[in-house]
Each structure stands twice: as C-alpha cells, then as structure tokens.
Amino acid sequence: MAPATVSRFLNGGIELPPATAERIRSAIAELGYRPNPYARSLSRGRTDMLALAIPDIQNAFFSQLASAVDRCAEEQNLSLLLCSTANKTARELDFIERLRRRFFDGLLLATNHADDGTLAEAINTADSNIVLVDEDVPGARVAKVFSDNEQGGFLAGSHILAAGHRAIAYIGGPPKLMSTVERRQGLSNAISASSDARLVCCLEHDYTREHGRAAMAEIIAHHRDVTAVFAGSDEITLGVLEVLREHGLRVACDLSLVTFDDVGLLHLLDPPVTAIRQPTAEIGRKAFERLAAAITGESVEIATERLPVRLVERASVAAPRRA
C-alpha cells in the first residue's frame, strides 16, 4: 500500500477496486489517520483559505458582511480567516504581508480610514489576490465592490425634500473617505435640484457615536434652522438620538432623520428610523465571487462594482414644523 495510492483515493476522487478501497478505509480507521492540511497545502501550492479583514467585528455592518462571506466560503469548502484590524494600517499591512507569504490564497479587505498611500502601495506590490470591499483605497489597482453611496445620498435627500424640508444638515464620516464624500455629493445633488432648499452644514469626522453626539449638539447650538438630518451611519445616528433625547427633542416631530446602513436596531425605536439600506450580504457575496474567480485564475478585470442601495421608509421623517 503506497502513500500515493491512498492520497489519490482520498483526494483525487478516483475509483478503486472494492478490495483496496476497503483495505484503505479500515487502515485509516484503525490507525486513526488524519491528513495534515498544512502538508497538503505545501505540496499543492495553495491553502484553500481566504481572509477577510474588517475594522471591527463588533460593528453590525461588518459582522453582517463577515457572515455573508462566511456562508460563501462554507459553500465552496474554503476556510475563512476573519481578521479584525481595529482600523489600523499596521494590522492591515500585516494581513497583506501574510497574503504574500501565502498564508491564505486571497484577501478581502475592508478599510475605514483615509490612506496616505502606504496601503495602496502595499496592495499594488502584493500582486496577489486582493479585493477591496465597502471602502476605497485610492490608487489601489485591484477589484473593488462598493455600494452606491451617491445614489444613497440622493435618495435620502429626495425623501427629505419631499417631506417639505428646506434646511438640511449632513453628519458624515471621515472627510476624505470615499463613502463620506459620495454620500454628501448625492445629498447635495438632490438639494441643488430644488431651488429653495439648502444644505446648511456638513459635519464630517468619524463613523462613530461620539461624532454623532458632537455634531448633533453643534446643530442644536448653532444651526437652529435645520429641520432634517442625514446621518452617514447607524453609529452616528445613535449619537444623534442620544443628544436629541437629552434635549427633550423628538424624532420626526421636532427633527426629521434618515440614517445610512440600517444594520442596527434603529427600526425598533419609537419612531423607527427611516434608512438607506446597504445590500451588505450582496456586497460580501460579490466580493467573494470576484476573489474566488481571481484565485482560480479567471480573467482578472480590476473594475469597480457598485451595488444599489434602497430607501427603507419608516417614521422618522415628517413635515417640518412651522417656526
């Protein structure tokens, strides 16, 4: 009984004479033999493992994304290494380095911060299988899968305008981030189309609850005329809601609100919050497919794909109160 025969039997899917097959099977059972995946990878030159790097597992959007990718990986019998980068470049670079060392066959990378060029360069010199998800790294020449942020901003704006609002504020993430810019742009486009409405202010800083708090406080203090707010993420919205409550202000009634993401529990609040919903699972799936294709060596086009978002109308947008 040669090792090669066993290997072929286990792994090549070749049919064997029943006698031999049985002999192998019983030997395996008695010896408690278990193939070593590392040796296998070493010999075959691939690992059948993918990695997904996200800024924060605890963020509902990313855990949803992770969940979707995980399902895909399972379907394809691939392992998924889930990496939390804490949104730090150093850790992102670390995972790119692991890819180069062939620790896994491909990397799905979700960033959430501006890049000074380091990341882009690392990505471009890795020449390996990387797909960017959710947020851009400018200058990186790889496949990218995003949602249509501009459309989202536009939908939010149009909806707010349709309710009769004329003084609108935008609370966004980091100023230079693609998502921040595009969402603002979409909102701005919608508002420009209306002659008498205006974008009172754009408060951009971080996709965090803290920023939501600060920005909302700022609006209350200095922008009394604002009657509707478009928040760039659920996290931001959380902060907004906290401040609103502290000031005894009610959503819809005193201030209209549209959020972005729609992965949290915002629909359970009273009133439930109207949202622009990202197709999180589809983003994950598309990105996965792109990566899988790249790995199997299919035509690697490095195009950017944008998935449509949609407005989920609930009850946080109402007509503005007459002052």
Contact residues for its own copies, defined by CB under 8 A: 34-39, 41-42, 47, 56-58, 60, 63-64, 66-67, 70, 74, 79-84, 91, 97-98, 100-103, 238, 241-242, 245, 264-265, 268-270
In the list 4, 29, 90, 221, the residue contacting DNA (rule: CB under 7 A) is 4
Please give the size of the binding site for DNA, defined by CB under 7 A. 25
CA distance 292 to 75: 12
Q: Is the dihedral of CA 37, 40, 42, 44 positive or negative?
A: negative
Is 303 near DNA (CB under 7 A)? no
**CB of 58 vs its own copies, minimal distance in Å:** 5
CA distance 195 to 214: 30
**CB of 265 vs its own copies, minimal distance in Å:** 5
**CB of 307 vs DNA, minimal distance in Å:** 36
Cα torsion 127, 133, 139, 140 to 10°: value is 0
| CB closer to its own copies, 9 vs 103 | 103
Q: What are phi and psi of 118, to 5 degrees?
A: -60, -50
CB 55, CB 84: distance < 8 Å? yes
What 3-state class would DSSP assign to 33?
A: coil
CA distance 204 to 13: 57
Q: Which does 269 bind (CB under 5 to 8 A by kind): DNA, its own copies, none?
A: its own copies
CA distance 266 to 244: 14
- Return left, alpha or beta for 87; rule: phi > 0 is left, psi -120 to 50 is alpha, else beta: left
Looking up tokens 């002052």, which residue turns up?
323
**CB of 7 vs DNA, minimal distance in Å:** 3
CB 192, CB 161: distance < 8 Å? no
Q: Which does 176 bind (CB under 5 to 8 A by kind): DNA, its own copies, none?
A: none
Q: Is the dihedral of CA 207, 211, 217, 218 positive or negative?
A: negative
**CB of 292 vs its own copies, minimal distance in Å:** 19
| CB closer to DNA, 12 vs 138 | 12
CA distance 213 to 70: 34
In the list 17, 32, 248, 297, the residue contacting DNA (rule: CB under 7 A) is 17
CB 261, CB 233: distance < 8 Å? yes
Is 12 near DNA (CB under 7 A)? yes
Q: Which does 81 bind (CB under 5 to 8 A by kind): DNA, its own copies, none?
A: its own copies
Is 118 near DNA (CB under 7 A)? no
| Per-residue contact flags (x/-) with DNA for residues 40 to 79, judged by CB under 7 A | x-xxxx----------------------------------
CA distance 215 to 143: 34
CA-atom Rg of the chain in angstroms: 25
| Per-residue contact flags (x/-) with DNA for residues 19 to 38, judged by CB under 7 A | -x------------xxxx--
| CB closer to DNA, 106 vs 152 | 106
Q: Which does 265 bind (CB under 5 to 8 A by kind): DNA, its own copies, none?
A: its own copies
| CB closer to DNA, 43 vs 195 | 43
CA distance 37 to 249: 59
The footprint of DNA (CB under 7 A) covers 1-5, 7-8, 10-12, 14-17, 20, 33-36, 39-40, 42-45
